[in-house]
A and B are shown apart, each in its own frame.
Chain A
Amino acid sequence: MNVEEQIAAITAEMRAHSRIVVAFSGGVDSAVVAALAFRAIGENARAVTAVSATLAGRELEEAVLIASEIGIPHETMRFSELDNPKFTENTSSRCFFCQSMRFDHLRVIADRVGADVLASGTNADDIGDDRPGLAAMEERGIYQPLLKHNISKAGVRDFAQFLGLSVWDKPAAACLSSRIPHGQEVTYDRLKRIELAEEVLHGYGFRHYRVRDHEGLARIEVALEELERVFDPAILPAISREIKSAGFRRVAVDLCGYRAAGRQ
């Protein structure tokens, strides 16, 4: 099937539902699901962004913009993973506890608006990684149309381009707690300094980056194509200064470059 046919199949499936709530981060995956749901059932589809300390402020701003671009009704819901010690102790099951809380809160909104389906942007490529968060979604019967129709990340980007979404090439963002190695506690202060440090890299024009927090050592990862630039002596000392101002005691650049969490 080509992109148009795949989109037609998914929207036809979505039309079987009277109301759909989409867990909406503003990333390309959930933006595509939101756009498909809006295409299928119009204003009976609703995008909801779960706002917490693990979501960077920039991501929330972009979620608002992309929802507006799609035209889908959008609202935010606040919760705090930091209230759950099973989350903050940061074991390899951290994402399970986070997603459990997130979708339990989203379910309340789904019930309020009479939605029979709660949808997420999980795609077929997510399955290969170690993602305990997926188990939390499966336990809760979350509708995962991209996964169900075996749409890969590249396929999602094709969908986004076809649908005219500006986020079609947006880099993956991931939850800020993924920057803290397992076993080291997730705290509000750590999440804030990570967010600020990544804003520094964003401000210098980097596109694919992470700042990993090793108890105050900022380990900068940038994509291989950006490695040359991060070592530019005209900007690197300033980057280091600004990241230290965010609350880190030492700044170091990872020689291997950016790797997605779970592929470390």
Chain B
Amino acid sequence: MTSPLTKDQIINHCASRSVACVDAFLDTGVWVLKFEPVPPPAVLHRIGLELKELGARWITVEVLS
């Protein structure tokens, strides 16, 4: 599934908010992001809304067990 956004755009957008996104990939239409360190939930939410505005339909952070 394609997305109007690219991995580099997502990482750069996060960097512009002083958030370190170390990886981003598409999995069945869902953008899965990895952060190092993980920012506070309010920051994640804001970034999620901004990336949605930029064209990401579903934007998530992966949860490791």
A: which residues have CB within 8 A of B?
181, 212, 214-217, 219-220, 224, 227-228, 230-231, 236-237, 239-241, 244, 250-257, 264
Contacts and interface: CB of A to CB of B under 8 A. Distances in A.
Interface in B29-65: 29-30, 32-33, 38, 41-42, 44-45, 47-49, 51-52, 57-65
5 contacts: A227-B45, A228-B42, A252-B61, A255-B60, A257-B48
A254 B48 contact: yes
A95 to B, nearest CB: 21
Contact of B64 (A216, A217, A228, A240): A240
Contacts of B28: 214-217
Contact of B63 (A227, A239, A256): A239
A255 B45 CA distance: 5
Q: Interface of chain A, helix or strand or loop or mixed? A: mixed
A257 B48 CA distance: 9
Contact of A231 (B33, B41, B47, B48): B41
B44 A231 contact: yes
A231 B63 CA distance: 9
Q: How large is the interface on B (under 10, 10 to 19, 20 to 34, 35 or more residues)?
A: 20 to 34
Nearest to A212: B58
B60 A252 contact: yes
Contact of B41 (A227, A251, A252): A227
A252 B62 contact: yes
Contacts of A224: 45
A108 to B, nearest CB: 39
Nearest to A244: B65
Given A217-B27, A217-B30, A224-B45, A250 B38 contact: no
Contact of A252 (B38, B57, B63, B65): B63
Contact of A256 (B38, B49, B62, B64): B49
A214 B65 contact: no
Looking at A216, A251, A252, which has the most chain B CB atoms within 10 Å of its CB? A252
Contacts of A252: 27, 30, 32, 60-63
Given A214-B30, A224-B45, A227-B41, A254 B58 contact: yes
Contacts of A220: 63
Nearest to A213: B28
Nearest to A264: B57
